[in-house]
Chains A and B, each alone.
Chain A
Amino acid sequence: MEFLLAKYNYWFYILIMMVGFYAMISKNNLVKKMIGVSIFQAAIILFYVSIGAKRGATIPIIEHGHDAVHHIDPTAYINPLPHVLMLTAIVVSVSTLGVALALISKIYAKYGTIEEDEINEQLTDV
């Protein structure tokens, strides 16, 4: 029980990720696939941000008085690096989503549907 509680964030990230992964693999609708991809990436973001957490620490904005900077206690602030990385990853996932939606929009214009099996039927008919 202790063991389970100590890492509960990580259990949840796996759960969310698998939901997204399943949607990505088995959904037929292209938009739903993309939603799956987004969930998958969101789970990765949760994973990284969980790495950055630190018990008893606050956001990494150093409080400095007007006097010269003196000793800064690193344990009082959370780890900034994962947040920086995830800012990047969020931007990347948004960009991928944009391109994917553009593709879906073109697919819809061409085939008149966004269900994968119907598109495949059209492709095999020709």
Chain B
Amino acid sequence: MKLIGLIVVIATGLLLLWGVTDFPDWADPQSPASTHLSPHFLTESIEETAVPNVVTSVLGDYRGFDTMLETTVVFAAGIAVYTLLRRSRRKDLREKPEMIEEELPHQALIVKTICRLMAPFMQLYALYVIAHGHHSPGGGFQGGVILGASFILLAIGFDLKMVLKRMREKTTLVLGILGVLIFSGIGMVCVLLEKNFLDYSALSAILPATDIIMARSHGILGVEIGVALAVMANLVLIYVNLSSDGKYERGL
């Protein structure tokens, strides 16, 4: 098995090496990748969407459909993990208890204090990253991950029950669904306004005091908020289920 594996690996490697020989040089400004599509995005982004961060405008608008499906992938993973691991209450009673020992209170003091100190700052920073994605590196995914990480940090520092009191299972699920719904809902609103799916310029009809270009910018912001909610909720959902084996009793 190992020998076959090695042969397959070497063969694939040689194939890829052969492919590389005709690549343009690394970081070549004249390579097709740099001259075909990207100049259009770079020069037109501000005029067409009023977003200086081109990654955000491509992510949220030019290829917004990819992003929507990507959020759906996170949602699918969250639901998949939830479906696989979550125990129903009936069976739960019959399971033998977890083997993790009780944590002594004095030992966790440092960790708890620091976690309590850090979590609000993390959440504040996450909101900044989400809201400031138009102008600086950031956006829905990054902000959502930081937001989710702050809850996971609390779950590690304290225990899972404490987090589940603040983020109930139903809240997490609803937020995860709501995030994706915001995204696809904005897309459907555009369809209802007789434009194409995810054509945010249609939103200028219902948003006050926005022209077509600003409507795109606002549309991207709305989408980013949806992405952030979905990513945050689903990461928490995945973590909670994985760490407690679906019992929601005590995590790591």
Question: Do A and B share a direct contact in the complex (Cβ within 8 angstroms)?
Answer: yes
In the complex, the answer to whether A83 meets B55 with C-beta atoms within 8 Å is yes
In the complex, the answer to whether B137 meets A72 with C-beta atoms within 8 Å is no
Within 8 A of A (CB), among B26-75: 26-29, 31, 33-34, 37-39, 41-43, 45-47, 52-55, 58-59, 63, 66-67, 70, 73-74
Stretch at the interface among B78-86, B105-113, B117-125: B78-86
**Set of chain A residues within 8 Å of B84, measured between Cβ atoms:** 99, 102-103, 106
In the complex, the answer to whether B43 meets A7 with C-beta atoms within 8 Å is no
Q: Which residue of A lies closest to B77 (CB)?
A: A95
In the complex, the answer to whether B13 meets A75 with C-beta atoms within 8 Å is no
Check: B20 CB closer than 8 A to any chain A CB. Answer: yes
Within 8 A of B (CB), among A2-30: 6-11, 14, 17-18, 21-22, 25-26
CB-defined interface of A69-93 with B at 8 Å, one 1/0 digit per residue? 1001011010111111101100110
**Set of chain A residues within 8 Å of B159, measured between Cβ atoms:** none
Check: B182 CB closer than 8 A to any chain A CB. Answer: no
Q: Please tell me the size bucket of the interface on B.
A: 35 or more
Complex alpha-carbon distance, A63 and B135, angstroms: 9
In the complex, the answer to whether B25 meets A22 with C-beta atoms within 8 Å is no
**Set of chain A residues within 8 Å of B141, measured between Cβ atoms:** 87, 91
Complex alpha-carbon distance, A115 and B8, angstroms: 22
- Among A52, A56, A61, A95, which residue has its beta carbon within 8 angstroms of that of B135? A61
Stretch at the interface among B168-176, B217-225, B238-246: B238-246
In the complex, the answer to whether B13 meets A92 with C-beta atoms within 8 Å is no
Most buried by B among A56, A57, A84: A84
Check: B252 CB closer than 8 A to any chain A CB. Answer: no
List chain B positions with a Cβ less than 8 A from chain A: 1-2, 4-6, 8-10, 12-13, 16-17, 20, 23, 25-29, 31, 33-34, 37-39, 41-43, 45-47, 52-55, 58-59, 63, 66-67, 70, 73-74, 76-78, 80-81, 84-85, 135-137, 141, 231, 238, 241-242, 245
